[in-house]
C-alpha cells in the first residue's frame, strides 16, 4: 500500500514537472522521500527539478543519493550527468549519460540528454536525435530538439516540419511552442513568432527561454536593434570558425581599403571608411548592451516592495 | 538518505569572474597585454573542466605575433623593408590578434553562460574598460621599454 502511495506521488510529481510546476513537484517528491528515503527515482527526479531551479549544490546531493540508493537506476545516472554538465565537468557528464543509455537504451530521454551535451560542446547531434525519434516518434521534446538542430543548420523547411509535428503531438508543449516561434522568427513571421512565445509563456510564465525569445522579438521590431538582431541571428547560425573569419575579414577589409585609399591619394575616402568602421564597432557594442538591459528588465519580473 | 535539499551555495572561487565580452573589449581598447591576460585569469575564475583551454590559444597567438614582430624589426633595422609596407603588415598582425581574441571569446562564452546560469557571480568590467586606453599608453609607452614586443603586446 505504502509503495503504491509513493509511486503515485512520483507519478504526480512527473505530471507537475511536465507542466513546469517545479516547486509543487519538489514538495511531492520530498513527501515521497519522507516515507521512503531510499526511493532512487524520487531522488533523481528531485535532482532534476533542483537543477531546473538552478540549485546545483542541492541537485548534486540528490543525484548522489539516487546513485547510492540504486546504482542501476538509469535516471539517477542521467541526473548526475546533468549535474556534471552544469558544473562543466563534461567528461564525467558524458560517462553518466552513456551509463544511463546502457541501462535503459529504449528511453528517448537519455538520448536527448546526450544530444544536449553534444550541443553544448558544439558537436554534431543529428544522429542522436534521430535515434531518439526512432524510439519515440511522437515525443514533442525530441521533435522540438530536432527542429532546433535543423534551425542551427539553417534548414528552415525541415525545422518547420519538426516543430509542426511536435505541436501536433502536444499543442501545449513548451519546447515545441518555442521551437515553432524560433522557426517563424527566422522566416520573418514576427506576429506568428510572438503568438507562439505568448502561448509558451502561458504554460511556463517564468521560462527564461520564453522571456529571452519575447525580448528578441521586441528587439526585432525595434528600429535601432532590428539590424543588430538580424546580424546576430545570422552569426548565431554560423559555426564558430566561420563567425571569427567573418569578423576578422570585415576588420581587415576596412583597414586595408582605408590604407589603400590614403596611399592612392584619397584621404577623404580613407576618413569615411575609418568612421564607418568606428560606427559599426560602436553599434555592435551598444546594441547587445541595450538588448541585455531589456532582457534583464524582463527577467526581473514583478518585485514587490519589502514593506508590502 | 536526506530528502530536504541543503541550501549550500556553489563552491566559492577566489578570483572574480567576468563576462568574456570585457576581456574582448580590453584587447581592443587596452591591447593584448591587458585583454589576453584577462582572458587567462577569467578562464581560471570561471573554472570547469576546460579552464586551461585558453593557455595554448594564447601561446599560439603570442608565438605567431612574436615571429612577425621580430621579422619586421630585423627587416627595418637592415633597411630591407620599405616603411610603406609596414603599415599593411601591422594591419595583418592586428587581424591575427583580433582573430585569436574572438577564438578566446567563443571558447569562454559557453563556459561562462553555464557558470552564470547556476548562480556563479559575475562582475562588471566597465571601470577597467574605461581605464584601458589610459593604461595602454602608460604600460606600452612608459612601463615597458619600446621594442619588437610592443607590437606583440599592443
- Per-residue pLDDT band for A300 (boundaries 50, 70, 90) equals low
Tell me whether A190 touches chain B (CB under 8 Å): no
pLDDT of B77 reads: 86
Q: Mean of the pLDDT values across residues B72-95?
A: 88
Q: Mean of the pLDDT values across residues B132-137?
A: 92
Q: Mean of the pLDDT values across residues A3-24?
A: 88
Q: What are phi and psi of B140, to 5 degrees?
A: -80, -20
Q: Which residues of B touch A88 (CB under 8 A)?
A: 47-50, 111, 114-115
> Cβ atoms within 10 A of the Cβ of B82, count?
9
pLDDT of B2 reads: 41
Q: Which of B4, B9, B106 sits opposite A244 (nearest CB)?
A: B106
pLDDT of A201 reads: 85
Q: Mean of the pLDDT values across residues A64-87?
A: 96
Q: Which residues of A touch B28 (CB under 8 A)?
A: 281
CA-to-CA separations, A286 to A68, A220, A282, B126, in angstroms, rounded: 50, 15, 6, 13
Q: In 3D, which of A211, A155, A147 has the Cα closest to residue A180? A: A147
Can you tell me the ipTM of this complex? 0.76
- Per-residue pLDDT band for A285 (boundaries 50, 70, 90) equals confident
A80-94, A155-169, B5-19, B76-90, range with the lowest pLDDT: B5-19
| Chains A & B: contacts with CB separation below 8 Å | 96
What is the C-alpha separation between A114 and A150, in angstroms, rounded?
17
Q: Which residues contact A272 (CB under 8 A, 6 or more apart)?
A: none
Contact flag A240-B103 (C-beta cutoff 8 Å):
yes
DSSP B147: S
Q: Per-residue DSSP letters for A141-164?
A: HHHHHHHHHHHHTT-HHHHHHHHH
Q: Which residues of A touch B119 (CB under 8 A)?
A: 54, 56
What is the C-alpha separation between B153 and B133, in angstroms, rounded?
14
* Residue A224 reports pLDDT greater than 80: no
Cell match 506576429: residue?
A191
Q: Are A53 and A70 in contact (CB under 8 A)?
A: no
CA distance B74 to chain A (A): 23
Q: Which of residues 10-29 of B touch A (CB under 8 A)?
A: 10, 21, 25, 28
> Cβ atoms within 10 A of the Cβ of B80, count?
8
Q: Which residues of A touch B4 (CB under 8 A)?
A: 30
Q: In 3D, which of A13, A54, A4 has the Cα closest to residue A31? A: A13
Mutate to test the interface with A, among B21, B23, B118, B119 (most CBs of A within 10 A): B118
Q: Which of B2, B111, B118 sits opposite A56 (nearest CB)?
A: B118
pTM value is 0.80
Cell match 552544469: residue?
A86
Encode pLDDT of A225-283 as tens digits.
777 777 776 776 666 667 778 888 888 898 899 889 988 989 899 888 888 888 887 88
The three cell numbers locating residue A77: 545516472
Contact flag A88-B50 (C-beta cutoff 8 Å):
yes
CA distance B48 to chain A (A): 5
Contact flag A87-B6 (C-beta cutoff 8 Å):
no
pLDDT of B20 reads: 92
Coil/strand/helix, residue B17: strand
A293 vs A129, higher pLDDT: A129
> Cβ atoms within 10 A of the Cβ of B71, count?
13
Encode pLDDT of A83-112 as tens digits.
999 999 999 999 999 999 999 999 999 999
CA-to-CA separations, A151 to A30, A88, A95, in angstroms, rounded: 39, 25, 28
Contact flag B2-A65 (C-beta cutoff 8 Å):
yes
Alpha helices in chain A (DSSP H): 2-18, 22-35, 40-52, 56-69, 74-86, 90-103, 108-120, 126-135, 140-152, 156-169, 174-186, 190-203, 208-221, 223-237, 240-263, 267-300
* Residue B10 reports pLDDT greater than 60: no
Encode pLDDT of B21-42 as tens digits.
899 989 988 999 999 999 999 9
Amino acid at each position: 500500500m505504502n509503495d503504491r502511495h509513493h509511486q503515485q506521488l512520483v507519478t504526480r510529481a512527473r505530471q507537475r514537472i511536465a507542466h513546469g510546476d517545479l516547486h509543487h513537484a519538489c514538495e511531492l517528491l520530498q513527501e515521497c522521500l519522507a516515507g521512503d528515503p531510499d526511493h532512487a527515482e524520487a531522488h533523481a527526479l528531485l535532482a532534476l527539478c533542483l537543477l531546473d531551479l538552478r540549485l546545483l549544490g542541492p541537485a548534486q546531493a540528490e543525484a548522489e543519493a539516487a546513485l547510492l540508493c540504486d546504482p542501476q537506476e538509469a535516471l539517477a545516472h542521467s541526473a548526475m550527468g546533468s549535474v556534471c554538465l552544469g558544473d562543466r565537468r563534461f567528461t564525467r557528464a558524458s560517462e553518466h549519460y552513456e551509463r544511463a543509455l546502457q541501462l535503459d537504451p529504449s528511453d528517448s530521454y537519455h538520448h536527448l540528454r546526450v544530444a544536449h551535451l553534444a550541443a553544448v560542446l558544439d558537436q554534431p547531434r543529428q544522429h542522436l536525435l534521430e535515434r531518439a525519434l526512432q524510439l519515440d516518434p511522437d515525443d514533442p521534446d525530441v521533435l522540438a530538439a530536432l527542429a532546433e538542430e535543423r534551425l542551427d543548420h539553417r534548414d528552415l523547411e525541415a525545422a518547420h516540419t519538426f516543430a509542426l509535428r511536435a505541436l501536433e503531438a502536444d499543442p501545449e508543449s513548451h519546447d515545441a511552442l518555442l521551437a515553432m516561434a524560433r522557426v517563424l522568427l527566422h522566416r520573418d513571421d514576427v506576429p506568428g513568432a510572438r503568438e507562439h512565445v505568448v502561448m509558451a509563456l502561458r504554460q511556463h510564465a517564468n521560462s527564461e527561454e520564453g522571456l529571452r525569445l519575447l525580448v528578441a522579438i521586441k528587439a526585432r521590431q525595434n528600429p535601432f536593434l532590428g539590424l543588430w538582431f538580424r546580424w546576430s541571428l545570422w552569426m548565431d547560425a554560423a559555426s564558430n570558425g566561420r563567425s571569427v573569419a567573418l569578423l576578422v575579414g570585415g576588420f581587415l577589409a576596412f583597414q586595408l581599403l582605408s590604407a589603400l585609399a590614403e596611399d592612392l591619394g584619397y584621404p577623404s575616402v580613407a576618413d569615411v571608411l575609418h568612421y564607418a568602421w568606428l560606427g559599426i564597432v560602436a553599434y555592435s557594442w551598444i546594441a547587445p548592451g541595450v538588448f541585455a538591459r531589456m532582457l534583464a528588465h524582463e527577467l526581473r519580473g514583478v518585485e514587490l516592495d519589502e514593506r508590502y | 538518505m536526506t530528502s530536504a535539499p541543503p541550501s549550500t551555495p556553489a563552491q566559492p572561487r577566489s578570483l572574480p569572474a567576468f563576462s568574456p565580452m570585457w576581456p574582448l573589449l580590453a584587447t581592443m581598447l587596452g591591447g593584448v597585454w591587458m585583454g589576453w591576460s584577462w582572458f587567462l585569469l577569467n578562464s581560471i575564475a570561471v573554472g570547469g573542466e576546460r579552464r586551461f583551454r585558453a593557455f595554448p590559444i594564447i601561446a599560439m597567438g603570442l608565438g605567431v605575433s612574436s615571429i612577425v614582430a621580430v621579422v619586421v624589426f630585423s627587416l627595418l633595422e637592415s633597411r630591407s623593408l620599405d616603411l610603406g609596407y609596414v603599415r599593411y603588415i601591422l594591419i595583418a598582425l592586428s587581424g591575427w590578434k583580433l582573430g585569436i581574441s574572438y577564438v578566446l571569446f567563443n571558447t569562454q562564452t559557453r563556459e561562462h553562460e553555464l557558470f552564470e546560469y547556476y548562480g556563479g557571480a559575475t562582475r562588471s568590467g566597465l571601470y577597467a574598460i574605461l581605464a584601458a586606453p589610459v593604461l595602454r599608453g602608460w604600460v606600452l609607452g612608459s612601463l615597458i621599454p619600446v621594442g619588437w614586443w610592443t607590437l606583440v603586446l599592443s
